Chains A and B, each alone.
Chain A
Amino acid sequence: MATRTVTIASSVGLHARPAALFVEAASNTGLDVEIAKPGEDPVDATSILGVMALGAKYGEEVVLTAEGDGADEALDSLVALLSRDLDAE
Chain B
Amino acid sequence: MATTEPSAQSDPQSGPETRQGIGVSPGTAYGPVVQVAPPVRPPANEPAVDDQEAALGDVKAAFEAVAVSLEERATRVEDTAQQILKATALIARDKGLVKAAAKQLEAGKGRANAIEGAIEQYAAQFEALGGYFAERVADLRDVGSRAVAAVLGVPAPGVPHFTEPSVVVAEDLAPAETATLDRALVVGIITEAGGRTSHTAILAAQMGIPAVVQLTGATSIESGTHVALDGDTGEVTIEPDLELVEQQRARAARRTEALGRLSGAGATSDGLGVALLANIGGVDDAVSAGALDLEGVGLFRTEFVYLSATKAPTVEEQTQIYRDVFAPFEGRRVVVRTLDAGADKPLKFADLGPEENPALGRRGLRLSAERPDLLDAQLEALAIAARETGADVRVMAPMVATAEEAAWFARRVRENGLPKAGVMIEVPGAALRARDVLGEVDFGSLGTNDLAQYTMAADRMQGALSDLLDPWQPAVLDVVGLACEGAKTVERPIGVCGESAGDPLLALVLVGLGVTSLSMAPSKVPVVRLALSLHTEAECQRLAQIARGSRTAVDAMGAVREAASSELTDLL
Which A positions have Cβ atoms within 8 angstroms of B?
Answer: 11-12, 15-17, 20, 23-24, 44, 46-50, 52-53, 55, 57
Contact = CB atoms under 8 A, between A and B. Distances in A.
Contacts of B126: 52-53
A48 B92 CA distance: 9
A48 B94 contact: yes
Contact of A15 (B83, B86, B133): B133
B91 A49 contact: yes
A52 B90 contact: no
A49 B97 contact: yes
27 contacts: A11-B317, A12-B132, A15-B132, A15-B133, A16-B87, A17-B83, A20-B83, A20-B86, A20-B87, A20-B90, A23-B90, A24-B90, A47-B94, A48-B91, A48-B93, A48-B94, A49-B91, A49-B97, A49-B122, A50-B94, A50-B96, A52-B136, A53-B122, A55-B129, A55-B310, A57-B310, A57-B311
Interface string B126-149: 100100110010001000000000
Interface of B: 83, 86-87, 90-91, 93-97, 122, 125-126, 129, 132-133, 136, 140, 310-311, 317
A37 B90 CA distance: 22
Nearest to A19: B87
Contacts of B311: 57
Contacts of B87: 16-17, 20, 48
Q: Which of A23, A49, A57 has the most CB of B within 10 A?
A: A49
A47 B92 CA distance: 10
Contact of A49 (B83, B94, B310): B94
A53 B311 CA distance: 17
A55 B311 CA distance: 13
A47 B95 contact: yes
Contacts of B140: 49
| From B83, B96, B97, residue with most partner A Cβ within 10 Å | B96
Contacts of A23: 90
A44 B95 contact: yes
B95 A46 contact: yes
Contacts of A57: 310-311
Nearest to B93: A48
B133 A48 contact: no
Contacts of B94: 47-50
| Residue of B87, B129, B140, B317 with most partner-chain A CB within 10 A | B87
Nearest to A55: B129
6 nearest interchain CB pairs?
A47-B96, A48-B90, A49-B94, A20-B87, A49-B96, A47-B94
A66 B132 CA distance: 29
A53 B137 CA distance: 12
A44 B99 CA distance: 12
A17 B85 CA distance: 12
A15 B90 CA distance: 13
Contacts of B86: 20
